[in-house]
Amino acid sequence: MAGNKKRKRREERPTIHPKNKYADNPPDFAFLGSLYPSFQSFIFYSRDGRPRLDWTDFNATRELTRVLLLHDLGLNWWIPDGQLCPTVPNRSNYIHWIEDLLLSDIIPKTILNGDNVRGFDIGTGANCIYPLLGASLKGWNFVGSDVTDVAVEWAERNVTNNSHISEYIEIRKVKSDDTSLLVEDPQNDQSGGPESELGLTNPMIFEGVDTNKTYYGPPILLGVVKDDEKFDFCMCNPPFFDTMEEAGLNPKTSCGGTPQEMVCPGGEKAFICRIIEDSSILKQTFRWYTTMVGRKSNMKSLIAKLREVGVSIVKTTEFVQGQTCRWGIAWSFVPPVKKILSANVVKNGNLSFMLEGIQRQYSAIHVLQSIESFFCISGASCKLNVSSFTVDITASQNHCNAILKMEELQFDKTAGFEHVRDTSISSSCLNIPMKDLCFRISVFQQIPGTLLVKVSQKQGDSQVSGVFSLILQRLEEDLKRKFCKEKV
User: Cα–Cα distances in Å, from 215 out to 264, 300, 350, 385?
Assistant: 8, 19, 51, 55
Say yes or no: 323 and 283 in one domain: yes
Spell 31-62 as b/e; 16+ CB within 10 A means b: ebbeebeebbebbeeeeeeebebebeebebbb
Say yes or no: 348 and 471 in one domain: yes
- Nearest-10 Cα torsion for 183, 153, 136, 174: 10
* CA pair distance 144, 153, nearest whole angstrom: 12
Residue 228 labeled ligand binder: no
The predicted structure's pLDDT at residue 256: 53
Domain interval for residue 171: 29-175+212-332
Residue 81 labeled ligand binder: no
Share of the chain above pLDDT 90, in %: 42
The dihedral built from the CA positions of residue 321, 324, 325 and 331, taken in this order, carries a sign that is negative
Strands 141-146 and 118-122: parallel
The pLDDT tens digits for 430-477 are 444 557 888 899 998 767 778 889 888 765 554 444 567 778 888 988
The dihedral built from the CA positions of residue 104, 110, 111 and 113, taken in this order, carries a sign that is negative
With contact defined as beta carbons under 8 Å apart, do 222 and 282 qualify? yes
Question: Taking 70 as the threshold, does the pLDDT of residue 192 lie above it?
Answer: no
Please report whether residue 386 resides in a domain: yes
At 102, is the secondary structure helix, strand, or coil?
Answer: helix
Of 304, 332, 360, the one marking the end of a domain is 332
* CA pair distance 350, 429, nearest whole angstrom: 21
With contact defined as beta carbons under 8 Å apart, do 280 and 106 qualify? no
Please report whether residue 408 resides in a domain: no
Decide: pTM greater than 0.85: no
CATH classification at residue 446? 3.30.310.80
Say yes or no: 383 and 266 in one domain: no
* CA pair distance 442, 245, nearest whole angstrom: 56
- Closest by CA to 298, choosing from 318, 327, 324, 269, is 269
Q: Which H or E run contains 99?
A: helix 88-103
The predicted structure's pLDDT at residue 403: 80
* CA pair distance 405, 192, nearest whole angstrom: 46
Residue 360 labeled ligand binder: no
Question: Taking 60 as the threshold, does the pLDDT of residue 119 lie above it?
Answer: yes
Say yes or no: 240 and 301 in one domain: yes
Residue 237 labeled ligand binder: yes
Say yes or no: 49 and 159 in one domain: yes
Terminal-residue alpha carbon distance, the chain? 31
Q: What's the number of domains the chain is made of?
A: 2
The pLDDT tens digits for 391-413 are 999 988 888 878 877 654 444 44
* CA pair distance 61, 58, nearest whole angstrom: 5
CATH classification at residue 33? 3.40.50.150
* CA pair distance 347, 18, nearest whole angstrom: 36
Of 299, 332, 365, the one marking the end of a domain is 332
The pLDDT tens digits for 79-111 are 999 888 999 998 999 999 999 999 988 888 775
Please report whether residue 294 resides in a domain: yes
With contact defined as beta carbons under 8 Å apart, do 261 and 63 qualify? no
Say yes or no: 88 and 227 in one domain: yes
Identify any residues that bridge with 327 across adjacent strands, giving them in sequence order. Answer: 293, 318
With contact defined as beta carbons under 8 Å apart, do 232 and 115 qualify? no
Q: Residue 151 carries which DSSP code?
A: H
